[in-house]
A and B are shown apart, each in its own frame.
Chain A
Amino acid sequence: MLDRELKKGSAELLILSLLEARPRHGYEISKLIEQRSAGTLRFHVASLYPLLYRLEKRGWIQGRWIEKAGQRRRRYYRLLMSGREVLASQRRGWRVFVEAINRITGEEHA
C-alpha cells in the first residue's frame, strides 16, 4: 500500500486520467481506481469528493447533474481544456519522477 502522501499527490493525475476518455460520476471513479489498482488504491468519500470539488474549482473538470432513464440523477464530471493540458504535463512529470526513482533504487525497468 502506498503511503498517504504519495497517494494524495498522484490522486489528481489518476482522476484526470480516468476522465480523459469520457465523463464519469464519483462512484464510478472510485470503483475504477479500486479495480484497476487491484485494490491497492481505494478512495473514500472523504478524500474523493473534496478532491473533485477542488479540481472543479480550478476549472480543470466540470460537474453536471445528468438524469438517465430509470436512474436517479447523478453528477458527471468531464475533463475541460485546461484539465487536459494539466494532465499532459503531469504525465510527463510523473514519468520523469518514476524513471528517477527507478535509477536510484536500481530496479530493472520492465
Chain B
Amino acid sequence: MPELGDWKREIGEQLAGLRLAPVRHTEIVEELAQHLEDRYQELLAGGAAESDARRTALEELSGNELLVAELRRVEQSINQEQPVLGATKGSHLLQFLWRDLNYALRMLAKNPGFTAVAVLTLALGIGANTAIFSMINTVLLRPLPYSEPERLVRVVSIRLRDGADDNVSYPDFLDWRERNHSFEGLAVFETGGATLTATGTTQRVNLAIVSAELFQILRATPSLGRSFLPDDDKSGADGGTDAVILSHGLWQRQFGSDPHVLGRIIHLDGQNYTVVGVMPPGFQFPIQTESPELWITIAHDSAGKDAMTTQRGAHYLDVIGRLKPGVTAARAQAEMSTIVSGLNKQYPDIFPRGTRVVPELDKLVEDVRPAFLILLAAVGCVLLIACANVANLLLARGTGRRREIAIRTALGASRGRVIRQILTESILLSFLGGVLGLCLGIAGIGLLLRLVPEGIPRLSTVGTDSRILVFTVVLSLLTGILFGLIPAFQFSKSDVTESLKEGGRGSSEGVHRSRIRAVLVVGEVAVAMVLLVCASLLIQSLLRLQKVNPGFDHRQAITFGLQAPATYSTAHNLEFFQQVVDAARSSPGVRSASAVMPLPLGGDEADTSFSIDGRPVPKTSRPTTQFSAVEPDYFGTMGIPLVNGRDFTPRDDLKSLPVVIINETLAKRFFPGQNPIGQRIQPGMGNGNGYPPMREIVGVVGDVKQSRMNDGPTPQVYVPLAQSPFSSITVVVRSATEPMSVVSTMREKVAALDKDVPIFAVKTLDEYAAESVAQARFNSRLLGIFATLALTLAVIGIYGVISYSVTQRTHEIGVRVALGAGVREVLQLVVGQGLRLACVGIGIGLAGAFLLTRLLRTMLFGIQPTDLTTFLCVPLILFTATFLASYIPARRATKVDPLVALRYE
C-alpha cells in the first residue's frame, strides 16, 4: 500500500527540473501528493484493487510535461503578472534581503557573546577611523569658504640658496602684479597685532595688513559699508586717515552692532583709522587659529621714513591670487618662474629667488597633512586587524555552523545564496559596529581635540557632517564585505555529505581552514609590528625632544608683549621699554627682568645676512644669522651662559660704539681657533639711522633654540635694543615665586606709565617650551594609542586562534597525555604553535617596518627610522605578548583528562 511519501517522491522527481525555492517546492509537492492520496483512497473505497487504484491515481499526473510547463509559467512569471500593485522585481529582491536580514538578526541574537565581541572590535576600528577622518575632513578636505575657491592660489617665494619658502617683498609683488597674465588679481597680506583704542577702551587685537584688491580676489563683500578701493593702498586716502574694515565679531563686541559705525575714527597703536566696512559673520581671512578682527591696507607699511614697502630685500609679505578662468596653476607657475628669473637678473644685489604656485587650500594645510595621513594609515591598520579578528571569529564559529549550511545546501540553496546569507550577516555585524563606532568616533573627536597642538587651521570647527556619515557607512559596508568574504567562500565550499555525517570531528576541516586562520593572525601580528615600531620611534623622538636643552632656563619665568604707540618717537619707545623693565625689576618677588625681540620659541624669528670685517665677499654669498635685539641683563634673566667677554650695559646706546654679542656656533663656525672678542662683523639690520653699522664683538653666549626645539645649531647675533630699535618687544621676568603672580602687578605698572598700552600674550617660558613639542607629543600619543590598540587586538587574535585550536585538538592532546606526554610537552606543543605564528608575523612586520618607517623621517628627532634598538626591542615585546596569549590556552590544554577526551571515540 502506497503512502503519502511515495506520492511525494513521485511528484518531487517530476518537479526537480523546476528548481523552485525549497519551501515552495515542499509545499507544492505536499499539496499534489494529498490530491493523489485522496483520489487513491476514493478509488479504494469504490472497490478498486490497490494496484488499479494506484495506477489510476497516478494518471492524474499524466501529461506531466504539461504540469511542469504550467507550473514553470505560473511560478516563474510572478514578476510579469504584477498581481499586486507595486510588486515589482525590486520589492522581490527586497523581500529576499529582508528574509536574509531577519535570519542574520536571529543568528546574531542567538550568540550574544560572539556578537558583542565582534561588534565591539569593529566599533573600535571604525570609531578610530571616523574620528581621524572627521579631522581630516575638516582640515584637509573641506573647501575654503570663498567663492570658487579652487581658483585661489598662493604664490610663494623660494630662497634659491637653501630652497626654503620665504615671503615676498612689496616691490617684487608690484612687479609680479604688473607683468603676469595668469591672474585675475594678486594681493599681499601679513598678519600682526595692534593696540585698538575705541569707545573708551584699550585692547590688543589681531589684524591683517592687506592690499586693497584682496577682498575682490576672495569675492568677499562687506555686510555694511564698502571694501577697500585701490586708493586705500596709499597712505591718508580717507581724508587724511587710512581705511579699516571690521570683522563682524569685533563690530558686535566693541561697537554694539552700531549701524552708524561707518566713518567713525578708531585708533590702532595710536594712529587714526576710518571705519569703511564691516564683514559678514563667519568671514575669515587669513584662516588661522586666532584670525584677524580687522583689516587695514598696506598703506600702514608705506608710511614713515623707514617704509617697509620700498625695500626689495624686505621679504615679509604673503601673496594670494585668483587664477583667470581656464588658467591652471601649472601655467601660472611657468609664467611666474619666468617673471622671477627676470627679476633675479634685474636686481643682482638681492639673493636670487624662485617661486611656486600652490592652491590656497594645499598651502594652508601643507604642514599638517603628512601627520594626518600617517594617522589615517595607522587607524586603517587598526581596522584591518579588527577585520582579521572578526573574520577569525566567524571562521571559528562557522565550523559549528557547517551542518546548518550543509542542510541548507541540501535543501537546494545555491552557493551564491549561501554566500549572500553569510555576507548579509557580516555586513549586519559591521553595520552594528559602524553605528557604535560612529558614537565612539564622535566621542573620540572631543578627546582628540584635547590632545591636538594649537595652530592647526580650521580644526576648531571640527564636527560631524553628512560626509562623515557617508564615510562611516561606506567604511562599515566595506569592512563587512572584507571580513565576511573569506568565511563566506570557505563555508559555501563545504562538502555536504562530509558535513552531514554524524560525528564529523573535522580532522579534514582542520588543514585548510586553520591555515587561513593562521594567515590572518600572521597578518595581524605583522601590521601590529609595523605600528608598534612607528609609535616607538615617535615616542623616543618626543622623549629626546623633551630632553633637548633649549639653551635657556624656562622655569619660573613669565613673558608678555608690549607695543609702543606709533605716536612715540624712537627715543621715547626705548625710554618707555626701559621704564617697564625697571618697574618689573623692582616688583616684589622678581629676581631679574629684561626684554628681547624676538623671543626664542615664541614663533617669531628674524634673520639677516652679515659680513666679517676684512673678509669681503659678494653681497649675495654672505652668510646668514639669526638676529635678536635685547636689553641689558637678558642673558642673566634667561639663564643663557655668557661664555666669553661681557654682557651689554645701559651705556651701549646709539651714541657709543656699535657692539654685538655672538653665540658659540657663530664663533666656532666663523672664528675657529681664534678669540672673536674685538673682531668686527656687520649684520645687515639697520639701527634706525640708515645704513647698518660695523659692530664690535664684545661677548660670546651659549646657543639657544630660536624657532624650534629640533633646530640644529644656528649662528645668532644679539645687539643692544638701544642700538637697533623695535617698536614692540617681549618682556621676560624671572620670579622667585609662582610666575603668574607678577602679572597683575605688571599690568598696573604699565598702565601707570601709559594707560593706552596693554600688555598682551602673557605666557610662561614653560608654556612656550611645551608648545614647541606639542606636535611631536600629539603624533606620538595618537600613534601610541593606535599601536596599543593594534597590539591588543593582535594578542586577542592569537589567543582566539590558539584557544580554538586547543578545543579542536582536545582529542589529540588526550591521546598524547595517555601515551605519557607530560605537562611540559603539552605546553610546548600549544605555545610552540602560537609562537611559530608570531615569529612569521614578526618577521614580515619587521620587513614592512623597515620599508615604511622612512616615511616618518620628517617627524623623527634624534633617532634613525631604522634604529637598531627599536627593531630589536619591539619584536621582543610582541613576542612576549604572544607568548602569554598562547600560554593561557596551553595551560588549559595541560588539564585535558585523557579519559574524558577519549570517551567520545
Contact = CB atoms under 8 A, between A and B. Distances in A.
Interface in A61-79: 72, 74-75
Contact of B71 (A50, A58, A75): A50
A46 B860 CA distance: 81
Interface in B5-29: 27-28
Given A44-B62, A44-B63, A57-B83, A75 B31 contact: yes
A46 B83 contact: no
A57 B77 CA distance: 9
Given A45-B61, A50-B71, A59-B83, A27 B35 contact: yes
B109 interface: no
A10 B66 CA distance: 19
Interface in B418-465: none
A77 B35 CA distance: 14
A24 to B, nearest CB: 12
A92 B62 CA distance: 34
Contacts of A50: 67, 70-71, 73-74
A49 B34 CA distance: 12
Residue from B32, B37, B38, B66 having most chain A Cβ neighbours under 10 A: B38
Contacts of A46: 60-64, 66-67, 70
A45 B35 contact: yes
Contacts of A75: 27, 31, 34
A47 B66 contact: yes
A57 B81 contact: yes
B74 A74 contact: no
Nearest to B70: A50
Contacts of B60: 44-46
Interface string B22-59: 00000110011011111100000000000000000001
A23 interface: no
A59 B81 CA distance: 11
A94 interface: no
Nearest to B14: A46
B821 interface: no
Contacts of A44: 59-63
A57 B74 contact: yes
A54 interface: yes
Contact of A26 (B35, B63, B64, B67): B35
Contacts of A54: 74, 81
Contacts of B59: 44
B330 interface: no
A45 B14 CA distance: 13
A76 B741 CA distance: 94
A46 B70 CA distance: 7
A47 B71 CA distance: 9
A75 B31 CA distance: 7
Contacts of A49: 28, 31-32, 35, 67, 71
B4 interface: yes
Interface residues of B, number: 29
Nearest to A63: B31
Q: Is the interface of B mostly helix, strand, loop or mixed?
A: helix
Contacts of B28: 49, 53
B229 interface: no
B67 A72 contact: no
Contact of B67 (A27, A45, A58, A59): A45
B553 interface: no
A25 B75 CA distance: 19
Contact of B38 (A27, A47, A58): A27
Contacts of B77: 57
Contacts of B63: 44, 46
Nearest to B67: A46
Residue from A27, A46, A51 having most chain B Cβ neighbours under 10 A: A46
Interface string A36-50: 000000001111011
B41 to A, nearest CB: 10
B32 to A, nearest CB: 6
A30 B32 CA distance: 12
A76 to B, nearest CB: 11
Given A45-B61, A53-B75, A72 B34 contact: yes
A53 B75 CA distance: 8
B752 interface: no
Residue from A45, A51, A53 having most chain B Cβ neighbours under 10 A: A45
A83 B38 CA distance: 27
B830 to A, nearest CB: 54
A72 B31 CA distance: 11
Contacts of A58: 81, 83
A54 B4 CA distance: 25
Nearest to A46: B67
A27 B78 contact: no
A72 to B, nearest CB: 6
A59 B66 CA distance: 24
B84 interface: yes
Nearest to B78: A57
A66 to B, nearest CB: 12
A30 B57 CA distance: 13
Contact of B34 (A47, A51, A74): A74
B74 A53 contact: yes
A49 B647 CA distance: 112
Interface string A4-21: 000000000000000000
Nearest to B11: A45
B773 to A, nearest CB: 74
A58 B61 CA distance: 25
B344 to A, nearest CB: 85
Contact of A53 (B36, B37, B62, B71): B71
Contacts of B35: 26-27, 30, 45, 49
Contacts of A53: 28, 71, 74-75
A45 B27 CA distance: 15
Interface in B323-364: none
Contacts of B37: 72
Contacts of A45: 32, 35-36, 60-61, 67
A67 B36 CA distance: 18
Contacts of A74: 31, 34
Contacts of B84: 59
A46 B15 CA distance: 12
Nearest to B33: A72
B30 to A, nearest CB: 8
B62 A27 contact: no
B165 to A, nearest CB: 74
Residue from A25, A51, A53 having most chain B Cβ neighbours under 10 A: A53
Interface string A65-102: 00000001011000000000000000000000000000
Nearest to A43: B60
A58 B87 CA distance: 11
A27 B81 contact: no
Nearest to A44: B60
Contact of A72 (B4, B62, B71): B4
A72 B74 CA distance: 26
B819 to A, nearest CB: 57
A45 B38 CA distance: 12
Nearest to A30: B35
Q: Which 5 pairs from chain A and chain B are nearest by CB?
A: A50-B70, A46-B67, A58-B83, A27-B38, A45-B60
Interface of B: 4, 27-28, 31-32, 34-39, 59-64, 66-67, 70-71, 73-75, 77-78, 81, 83-84
Interface of A: 25-27, 30, 44-47, 49-51, 53-54, 57-59, 72, 74-75
19 contacts: A27-B34, A27-B35, A27-B38, A27-B39, A30-B35, A44-B59, A44-B60, A45-B32, A45-B36, A46-B64, A46-B70, A47-B66, A47-B70, A49-B32, A53-B74, A53-B75, A57-B78, A72-B34, A74-B31
Given A50-B70, A57-B74, A58-B83, 18 more contacts: A26-B31, A27-B35, A44-B59, A45-B32, A45-B67, A46-B60, A46-B62, A46-B67, A47-B66, A49-B32, A51-B70, A53-B75, A57-B78, A59-B83, A72-B34, A74-B31, A74-B34, A75-B34
